[in-house]
Structure 1
Amino acid sequence: MTETLISLISIFIGIIGAISAGFIFKKYSFGIVGNTISGVFGSVFLIKSFGRLGFNPQSIVQNGTFNGLLFSINCIVSFLGGVFVLIIIKKISQKMNKKGTN
């Protein structure tokens, strides 16, 4: 697997995380398009932020070998990134709408 493919898989898993969180927790949903966008940004943000701990795509395929444990950690962080950013964006949106009505 190349680093680019691992990055694309991570983004796709972040999208799945945001869409599934929107499906399970309906009050946090922005629809399929909004959930997809938040999943992309959440996945990229968390992998870029915490990837320096050793589970970024470059570390997964270091020296031409594939590290499955690091890849699974990468997938979990991507999924959680999509979920967390969806919830954070919804809370920010609710606060902004609340201030606009007063």
Structure 2
Amino acid sequence: MTETFISLLSIVIGIIGAICTPILFKKYSFGIVGNTIAGVFGSIFLIKFFGRLGFNPQSIMQNGTFHGFLFSINCVVSFLGGALALVCIHLIKSKLNK
């Protein structure tokens, strides 16, 4: 695996997180396109924000070795980033509609 592939996989996992969130919470759905956009930006933002703690793609592939534990943390943060972005967008939308 390379850093680029890990980054793309993180974005896909963020999209999955944003698409799966409305299954549990119906009011957070923005349709498939809106959820996909929220998942992309949410996963990128959270990985860039918290990736400095040591689970960014460069740290996962440090010295050419694959660190599975760091990759699993990266996947969880990407999933949560997509879900949290969807919730934040819903909160912003509800505040602007008032």
1:22·1:31 contact (CA, 8 Å) conserved in 2?
no
Q: Structure 1 residue runs of 4+, over 6 Å off? A: none
Q: What is the CA–CA distance in structure 2 between the aligned matches of 1:24 and 1:4, rounded to whole Å?
A: 31
Match of 1:3 in 2: 3
TM-score computed with the length of structure 1 as normaliser? 0.95
Match of 2:40 in 1: 40
Deviations along 1:51-80, one digit per CA (max 9) or x if unpaired, are: 000000000000000000000000000000
Consecutive unaligned residues of structure 1, counting only runs of 5 or more, are: none
Q: Matches of residues 12-31 of structure 1 in structure 2 within 5 Å?
A: 12-31=12-31
User: What is the one-letter code of the residue matched to 1:68?
Assistant: G
Match of 1:75 in 2: 75
CA-CA distance at 1:24 after TM superposition: 1.9
| Partner secondary structure for residue 46 of structure 1 | helix
Match of 2:87 in 1: 87
1:14·1:39 contact (CA, 8 Å) conserved in 2?
yes
Give the greater-gyration-radius structure (CA): 1
Q: What is the CA–CA distance in structure 2 between the aligned matches of 1:49 and 1:91, rounded to whole Å?
A: 21
User: What is the one-letter code of the residue matched to 1:9?
Assistant: L
CA-CA distance at 1:5 after TM superposition: 0.2
